[in-house]
Structure 1
């Protein structure tokens, strides 16, 4: 009464077509494509930035001029395993975690 006979006759045939292995793969294809795009647009560039930052932190040396996460700019006066001593003014030295250093500045930036 509510379903016409044409729809009722084609429903089992349509359901049988979609249950095969190709139907499953076709249904998962958009999900796989979204993950691939997400990897190349977001995950891969972030991993590259982390690798570059880690290399920069490992290459820190005394006398380098650096900028920190908090906006402090100074000269590296000492290094230890996880920390850096940065002189931000004459006679004023702060101790920071190495990960707080965001950028190594060109020589002569700090006056």
Structure 2
């Protein structure tokens, strides 16, 4: 009975750790992967460095971003932080 009593706090701590840290991180990662998979030409985006622009071209690993209509910069697809929805 002592072994069972010692395992309960350990299991409870693992469950709390899972629901407060691991599961939310997995949900965020899945959401980011879905966003990267759904990128399209013409989407307004923000990179992880804070650069705002519009996707001009896209392939499997790289995205060409049009900035201010004059500059075109190439980024890895993973460098896209978010897609801005024009409302």
* Bigger Rg, which one: 1
Displaced runs of 4 or more, over 6 A? none
Cα distance between partner residues in 2 of 1:106 and 1:29: 47
- Kindly report the root-mean-square deviation, in angstroms, between the aligned alpha carbons of the 2 structures: 1.1
- Unaligned 5+ residue runs, structure 2? none
Cα distance between partner residues in 1 of 2:11 and 2:81: 35
RCO (CA 8 Å, sep 6+): is it higher in 1 or 2? 2
- Give the drift of 1:39: 0.4
Contact 1:65 1:105 survives alignment (8 Å) = yes
- Give the drift of 1:91: 2.3
Structure 1-normalised TM-score?
A: 0.75
Structure with greater helix percent: 1
Q: Which residue of 53, 59, 68 corresponds with 2:47?
A: 68
- Unaligned 5+ residue runs, structure 1? 1-21
